[in-house]
């Protein structure tokens, strides 16, 4: 295979994500010690945020804003310990994270150097160049938590995105995510194979998205667990017709892509469309020919896998869209057609 051909295959089949300015990670801090330097307003918000994770937050400062004492008396979770003195490098020993708020950049740089010498990831408030990690905007539907980062470039823009995401995620998601976390402990009840368990979680997710006005009830969970996986995953193919812009995908199309086991797509479909799929989903490019072979699509659907066919809307007649749909139906496959 030529180098050019190898690069094309790698780009469409192997490279699933573009460059990242930062790596989004989520620290588990419950019961762990975090060192926070500063007694003013910027440090106050960080103390509340860190305590919400269940951390023991030790705050070092010569003086504290009045709100700090009220927060220490009733933290959202975890503990807040106020230490009324300046910090020293020894205070960083055995800390999980270190956060500092300094008016002077030289003091911030000294703190960052001491934290790194102690092997502790460090954040210096409003000093991106001194940070190992950053605090992004947060949408809290815990245990569902969404973090939004602009790599420090545009915090106000990040806050606007947070407001948009919050409007899309109702408070009931907190209840559904909590139920999913609890049900993970009972995964053996959902089937013997990974495929059967995946089908249960599809049922759970579909049900949750149809009942966004409330959380799960005991009868809902019992019904979902008792459901026969095969009865909830009929042999069907979802056909998604798209334009040249992945931003125009409907919510239904995105949900179908996220649930797919196999994705058959026109070879000139924008790569960004496939980014909505799970990493585990199998991707099958199809050369655009009139009345193309549908045998692979049929075989996948009949095996019980969740199948999505992605087509470009442009010049549908040339691409044999109607012939393909007729072939699927003639093979006994039901078809759901979505358009962006």
Residues 182 and 97 in one domain: no
Residue 180 sits in the same domain as residue 102: no
CATH of residue 126's domain is 3.40.50.720
276 & 315 share domain = yes
Q: Is residue 21 part of a domain?
A: no
333/243 same-domain check:
yes
The stretch 101-105 carries a mean pLDDT of 95
Q: What is the pLDDT of residue 12?
A: 44
DSSP states of 224-240: HHHS-HHHHS-SEEEEE
- Are 203 and 112 part of one and the same domain? no
Domain region containing 151: 139-169
Q: What pLDDT band is residue 229 in, cutting at 50, 70 and 90? A: very low
Q: Is position 26 within any domain? A: no
Q: What is the mean pLDDT of residues 40-49?
A: 96
Work out the mean pLDDT of the chain and round it to a whole number: 85
**pLDDT band at 233, cuts 50/70/90?**
very low
- In the prediction, which pLDDT does 34 show? 98
Looking at the structure, do residues 149 and 84 belong to the same domain, yes or no? Answer: no
Whole-number pLDDT of residue 110: 98
Q: Is residue 295, in this structure, part of any structural domain at all?
A: yes
Q: Are 81 and 44 found together in one domain?
A: yes
Q: What is the pLDDT at residue 188?
A: 80
Q: Within this chain, do residues 155 and 197 fall inside the same structural domain, yes or no?
A: no
308 vs 268 pLDDT, higher one: 308
Assigned token pair, 251: 């919510």
**Predicted local confidence at residue 5, as pLDDT:** 46
Which of the listed ranges 69-73, 151-155, 330-334 does the model predict with the highest average pLDDT?
69-73
- What integer pLDDT is reported at residue 268 of this predicted model? 85
pLDDT digits (tens, 9 = 90+) for 2-25: 454 444 443 444 456 789 898 999
Among left, alpha and beta (phi > 0; psi -120 to 50; other), residue 277 is: beta
Q: What confidence tens digit (pLDDT) does each residue in 257-292 have?
A: 887 889 999 888 888 888 888 888 899 998 765 556
In a domain, 23, yes or no: no
Predicted local distance difference test score (pLDDT) of residue 292: 65
Query: Does residue 11 lie in a domain region?
Result: no
**H-helix segments, the chain:** 3-9, 41-52, 66-73, 105-117, 155-168, 172-183, 194-210, 218-226, 229-232, 251-259, 271-274, 295-302, 321-330
- Whether 285 is in a domain gets the answer yes
- CB 33 within 8 Å of CB 53: no
Show which of 209, 226, 243 is a domain's final residue. Answer: 226
Q: Is the pLDDT of residue 91 over 60?
A: yes
Query: 267 and 216 in one domain?
Result: no
161 and 91, same structural domain?
A: no
Q: Which of 226, 244, 271 is the last residue of a domain?
A: 226
Residue 284 is part of a domain; what is its CATH number?
3.40.1010.10
307 close to 238: Cβ distance less than 8 angstroms? yes
Residues 259 and 328 in one domain: yes
Higher pLDDT residue, 189 or 49?
49
Domain count within the chain: 4
Model pLDDT, residue 6: 46
- Whether 188 and 251 share a structural domain: no
Domain membership of residue 16 (yes or no) is no
Please answer whether residues 260 and 278 qualify as being in contact, where contact means their C-beta atoms are separated by less than 8 angstroms.
yes
Average pLDDT over residues 156-168: 86
At 284-306, the pLDDT tens digits run 998 765 556 788 999 988 887 88
Q: How far apart are CA 128 and CA 311, in angstroms?
A: 43
Q: Is residue 152 part of a domain?
A: yes
pLDDT tens digits along 165-187: 888 788 999 999 999 999 988 88
What's the pLDDT score for residue 235? Answer: 59
Domain boundary among 86, 116, 135: 135
How much of the chain exceeds pLDDT 70, in percent? 88
Which of these ranges, 53-57, 116-120, 129-133, 205-209, has the smallest mean pLDDT? 205-209
């Amino acid at each position: 295979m030529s180098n050019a051909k190898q690069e094309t295959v790698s780009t469409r089949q192997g490279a699933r994500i573009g460059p990242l300015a930062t790596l989004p990670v989520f620290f588990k801090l419950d019961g762990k010690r975090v060192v926070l330097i500063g007694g003013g307003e910027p440090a106050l918000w960080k103390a509340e945020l860190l305590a919400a994770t269940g951390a023991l937050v030790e705050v070092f400062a010569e003086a504290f804003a009045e709100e700090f004492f009220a927060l220490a008396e009733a933290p959202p979770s975890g503990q807040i310990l106020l230490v009324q003195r300046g910090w020293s490098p020894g205070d960083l020993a055995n800390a999980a994270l270190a956060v500092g708020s300094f008016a002077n950049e030289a003091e911030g740089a000294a703190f960052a150097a001491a934290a790194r010498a102690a092997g502790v990831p460090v954040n210096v408030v409003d000093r991106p160049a001194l940070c190992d990690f950053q605090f992004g905007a947060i949408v809290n539907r815990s245990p569902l938590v969404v973090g939004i980062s602009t790599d420090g470039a545009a915090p106000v823009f990040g806050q606007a995105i947070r407001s948009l995401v919050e409007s899309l995620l109702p408070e009931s998601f907190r209840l559904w995510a909590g139920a999913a976390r609890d049900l993970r402990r009972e995964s053996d009840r959902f089937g013997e194979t990974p495929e059967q368990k995946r089908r249960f979680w599809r049922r759970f997710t579909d049900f949750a998205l149809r009942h966004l006005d409330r959380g799960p009830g005991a009868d809902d969970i019992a019904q979902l667990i008792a459901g026969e996986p095969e009865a909830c995953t009929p042999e069907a193919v979802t056909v998604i017709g798209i334009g040249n812009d992945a931003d125009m995908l409907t919510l239904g199309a995105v949900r179908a892509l996220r649930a797919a086991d196999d994705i058959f797509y026109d070879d000139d479909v924008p790569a960004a469309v496939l980014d909505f799929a799970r990493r585990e989903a199998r991707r099958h490019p199809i050369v655009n020919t009139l009345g193309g072979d549908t045998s692979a699509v049929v075989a996948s659907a009949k095996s019980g896998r969740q199948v999505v066919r992605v087509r470009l809307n442009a010049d549908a007649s040339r691409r044999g869209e109607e012939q393909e749909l007729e072939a699927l139906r003639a093979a006994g496959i039901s078809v759901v057609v979505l358009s962006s």
